[in-house]
Amino acid sequence: MFFKLENLYSGYGHVPVICGIDLEVVRGEVAIILGRNGVGKTTLMKTIIGLLPRTSGEIIFNDLPISDLPVYSRACLGLAYVPQGRGIFPDLTVEENLRMGEGINIAAKTRPYTEVFTYFPRLKERLRQKGGTLSGGEQQMLALGRALIGDPRLLLLDEPSEGIQPNIVGEIGAVLAHLNEEKNLTILLVEQNIEYALSISRSCHMMNKGKIVARVAHDELHNVETIKKYLAI
Amino acid sequence: MSTVFSVSYIFADSAAFLLLSALGLIIILGMMGITNMAHGEFMMLGAYTTAIATHAGLPFGLSVLSSMLTMGAFGIIIEMLVIRRFYGNLLQSLVVTWGLSLVISQGMLIILGPSIPSLPMPMGGFSVGGKVYAAYRVFLPVISILVVAAMGLLLFKTRFGMKARATMQNPEIAQVMGVNTKAMYMFTFGLGSALTGLAGALYAPTTVLGPLYGANFLAPAFVTVVVSGGTNIIVGALMAAGILGLVDGIFNYWFGAVIGRLALLTATMFVIRFFPSGLSRWLANRRSV
């Protein structure tokens, strides 16, 4: 079993946000969870990485139940999380931010700096600059680059398209597609931007009110009626 | 010539005093947002350890080292037992560390009485222009520079330092990058305590040793922390100690110790008025413009 959520519940205090999610991600897959604002996408991601404790249910990663492990242990096992808002260390240089990624997946044999600089040459030009001085798009590249330095087994992305220029959104989408096809990187991504989701995956899981309500194939996603039905727009 | 030396001597002595007495406090505050009200008592314990070890026959240098290690271990224990329950809670952490200071000072009063045998000043004296100066007072500034340099190397040139700074800026994301922040806090508190113990130990030969030994250092230490601000620990501490030491040095030489201390506090008020978040924040803002 590579990655699986079993009847997962979580939330803030007594307010349940994730209400029984079952989901399996196969190795080498790009799994996308599509949902509007406020359906619990970020809460789900935080629960998977461990920043939020689960209320009940189980998270399986590489045949191992991980829901009682602290965040840093999950990272060491190879889960890389790119949060919404990027989470760049503002007073660390770009180079230091990237080096922080080496703490992810301690079993990794290589740290792919060359590849990251090929994908995002701008990071190489700004190595000595403080992370906080980068533009939003550059910070997104840095956040993704940092996660990739970890050579992760599973990449968790929380709305990578949010708040950045369309051309950079495209650039990042192309890198993700390349990583999946060439390097067989497994990706779990939550989004509300349908166009973006369509550009990198053949199917999507629809999320509403803390639950996965359907799995929809690529061609169906072009059908506005289907989307309206599942996303309750 | 002898005036220049005299003023430099007072300046270096005062700056070193401010720097050493504040360093542990600044690290604990800057890294984990805990204002350690028991700072003075940690210094007292450092001084006591050194005095007891020296009287037991250990050379002074080794005693200082041993009290640094002892206080580092003590800090780690205190972090595990008390401090880790109060992160992110400013008021509670103030009260609990204040309580800790009372327990330590009163405990020492009960166990060892109102004073313990003091230490002779090591190293003797030398004279410049007919005045005699204590060699140890020249040695302390040198040590303080070495300690700050070592801290700078640790924080900015090592992997541990990078992780520590990352934890300080965003603990959640540091965890996501595989950093065990709990252990990091424990270790940093131990480091701050070790530096505090070191400062207490180094100044042990300069004054009477009693349970309230730390009170001499508390006000200058807090003044230095406030002036430095928490943005860049090393640069902030150096600037604050340098500026305040200079003010103290000049006024102390021409107008005496009391006026010197008054000038130091006045300078602090000016800094707080015009750079309310401290010199290091002001410097950081200027750089990023």
Interface confidence (ipTM) of the complex: 0.90
Residues of A in contact with B181 (CB under 8 A): 72
Q: Quote the pLDDT of residue A231.
A: 67
HEC string for A114-130: HHHHHHCHHHHHCCCCE
B73 C-beta neighbours (distance < 10 Å), count: 13
User: Could you tell me if A9 and A55 are in contact, meaning their C-beta atoms sit under 8 angstroms apart?
Assistant: yes
Nearest-CA distance from A42 to chain B in Å?
Answer: 14
> What would you report as the CA-atom Rg of chain A, rounded to the nearest whole angstrom?
17
Using a CB–CB cutoff of 8 Å, tell me whether B286 touches chain A: no
Give B202-224 pLDDT, tens digit per residue.
998 888 888 988 888 888 888 88
Interacting residues of B82 by C-beta distance below 8 A, sequence separation 6+? B96, B100
Class of domain B2-288: mainly alpha
Q: Quote the pLDDT of residue B1.
A: 66
Task: Flag if B166 and A100 touch (Cβ within 8 Å).
Answer: yes
User: Could you tell me if A62 and A116 are in contact, meaning their C-beta atoms sit under 8 angstroms apart?
Assistant: no
Q: What are the domain boundaries of chain B?
A: 2-288
Residue A112 token pair: 């792919």
B152 burial via Cβ count (<10 Å: 0-12, 13-18, 19+):
middle
Amino acid at position B32, single letter: M
- Annotate B162-173 with b (16+ C-beta within 10 A) or e (fewer): bbbbbbbbbbeb
User: Which residue matches tokens 């330092």?
Assistant: B161
pLDDT band at B120 (very low <50, low <70, confident <90, very high): confident
Interacting residues of B257 by C-beta distance below 8 A, sequence separation 6+? none
Task: Flag if A87 and B172 touch (Cβ within 8 Å).
Answer: yes
User: Which residue matches tokens 């040139």?
Assistant: B157
Cα atoms in the 13 Å half-sphere on the side-chain side of A172: 26
Q: Which among B169, B174, B177 has CB closest to A90?
A: B169
Q: What is the pTM assigned to this prediction? A: 0.86
For B149, left (φ over 0), alpha (ψ -120 to 50), or beta?
alpha
What chain A holds in terms of domains, given with CATH numbers, is 3-231 (3.40.50.300)
- Assess whether pLDDT exceeds 50 at residue B266: yes
Q: Is the dihedral of CA B194, B199, B200, B205 positive or negative?
A: positive
Give B88-103 pLDDT, tens digit per residue.
888 899 999 999 999 9
A218 C-beta neighbours (distance < 10 Å), count: 12
Count A/B contacts: CB-CB distance under 8 Å.
69
